[in-house]
Structure 1
Amino acid sequence: MDDDKGNAARTARWEERMEVPLGIASGLFLAGYAVHVLARQPSGVVDVSLIVVFASWALFLVDYAVRWRLSGLGLSFVHKHLLDTVVVVLPLLRPVRIVKVYDRQLRRHGEPRLSLYGRVIVYSGLSTSLLGFTGALAVYQQERGAPGTTMKTFGDAVWWACATLTTVGYGDVTPVTPGGRTIAVGMMACGLALLGAVTGSFSSWMIEIFSRGEGQKPPEDTKPPGS
């Protein structure tokens, strides 16, 4: 029991130290990846962007390995921290770490101003935006120049990402490569989950508002003296 408490305390201290560096690494990863994908031709800037991408990935790996070691959980750490495992394996989800850091910083400086429903809606919206932009970059990297592709510009990729995450699926722009379709499946699943969180929270918030209004009694009529 004492060992578990000690491991938890050491892990908490490590996570506190790494919050801001990992948030910065998430932003740098997104910026470096965007430059790598959208650069017109190979250049020194592209080389630097690749270094930034791999350096940020290395920082995530180091953080994951240290937390695994400090936890003392062995292989059970993988499934008990499944989201962190997926973030390390899948580059698309690394920028979403910015939202987690933002939330922790707000909590550290006081109670969040938004209600629980409001935080869910805001954070889900931010996560969707980050995931959509990163997914558009990843799909565009796979699709550009592919035979029969309908995704000829990055604008097409952004349009496709919006339609996919919102589950609209117009079908005017679709991935044709195996890599692009694999990314599409992941974005569909994430889109359903995030939209479900937003719509569910919004519906619950509306029900709470209306229930609160119906539960209030109307003010009693006041009559003037002597009437």
Structure 2
Amino acid sequence: MTNDEHRRTTWETATSVPLVVLSLVFIACYSVRVIDTELPSEAQIAVGAVIGLIWAAFAADYLVRLGLAHDKGLYFRSTLLDLVSVLVPVFRPFLLLNRLRDIPFFRRRSGSSVRIRLLIYAALFVVLFVYSLALAVLAAERGAPGASILSFGDSIWWACVTMTTVGYGDMVPVTVLGRTLAVVLMFGGVAIVGVATATIVSYLNETIGRRRHDR
């Protein structure tokens, strides 16, 4: 490991927990900003300032890690999700997942820790995926002419129905941004259902094969 890579690893380990906390604070502030339509102007300014400071912190963190990388081109290509999460507000909650990997526990390679890590990642990804897109669609749809997604409850219901490919059709986005996010949610839902099904089938096959071997 080069000196630059060692410094980058040290930086990521030192900042992992604070940035996870900032990710949670960002999710809370973004939620308040979208859901509470009657937030006083002073509170709106305060929430906006906190969101702006957190964004600046993550942008600075990305630039520091990029600067410390030995092969900056390779590092840039391998951390595109980090960059997208910094630049596009709807994907910023996923920075929480990116920073979890820098916590020492999530770097362990033992069998139990790998399984636990995968379960935590999978559960958090699904929750963040549905929650963040539901918030973004609510922000895009609320107030639009002919909109049917008017509350947080509506957006969560719509996101769950869309992700699971049920598609009742009782609520549909009418704005361009809302429909674009709906497409992202559809493709993500198909991928999540497919991966979950494959994982369950693989687990059942492994369990059945182990029992047959024991006999």
Normalising to structure 1: TM-score of the pair? 0.83
Counterpart position of 1:17: 14
Decide whether the 8 Å contact of 1:120 with 1:197 is kept in 2.
no
Q: Structure 2: which 5+ runs fail to align?
A: none
Normalising to structure 2: TM-score of the pair? 0.87
SS of 2:91 mapped into structure 1: helix
Q: Does 1:36 align with 2:33?
A: yes
Determine the C-alpha separation between the residues in 2 that align with 1:8 and 1:115.
Answer: 24
Determine the C-alpha separation between the residues in 1 that align with 2:211 and 2:63.
Answer: 51
The CA deviation at 1:157 is: 0.5
Residue by residue, what CA displacement relative to the aligned partner does 1:33-61 show, whole Å, maximum 9, x if unpaired?
A: 11111123241222211112111111111
Aligned CA distance change for structure 1 residues 22 and 182 (closer, same or farther; 3 Å): same
The CA deviation at 1:76 is: 4.1
Counterpart position of 1:106: 105
Which of 123, 135, 150 is the equivalent residue of 2:148?
Answer: 150
The residue type equivalent to 1:70 in the other structure is: L
SS of 1:137 mapped into structure 2: helix
Instruction: State how 1:171-182 maps to structure 2 within 5 Å.
Output: 171-182=169-180
Residue by residue, what CA displacement relative to the aligned partner does 1:6-38 show, whole Å, maximum 9, x if unpaired?
A: 221111111111211211111111111111111
Determine the C-alpha separation between the residues in 2 that align with 1:123 and 1:107.
Answer: 10
CA RMSD of aligned residues (A): 2.4
Aligned CA distance change for structure 1 residues 150 and 177 (closer, same or farther; 3 Å): same
Aligned CA distance change for structure 1 residues 112 and 58 (closer, same or farther; 3 Å): farther
Counterpart position of 1:5: 2
Q: Which moved more, 1:99-108 or 1:78-87?
A: 99-108
SS of 1:192 mapped into structure 2: helix
Q: Does 1:63 align with 2:61?
A: yes
Determine the C-alpha separation between the residues in 1 that align with 2:111 and 2:58.
Answer: 27
Which structure's CA Rg is the greater one?
A: 1
- Percent identity over the alignment? 35
Determine the C-alpha separation between the residues in 2 that align with 1:162 and 1:18.
Answer: 33
Decide whether the 8 Å contact of 1:124 with 1:198 is kept in 2.
no
Instruction: State how 1:54-203 maps to structure 2 within 5 Å.
Output: 54-102=52-100, 104-107=103-106, 113=112, 116=115, 119-203=117-201
SS of 1:210 mapped into structure 2: helix
Decide whether the 8 Å contact of 2:143 with 2:150 is kept in 1.
yes
Decide whether the 8 Å contact of 1:39 with 1:46 is kept in 2.
no
The residue type equivalent to 1:49 in the other structure is: V
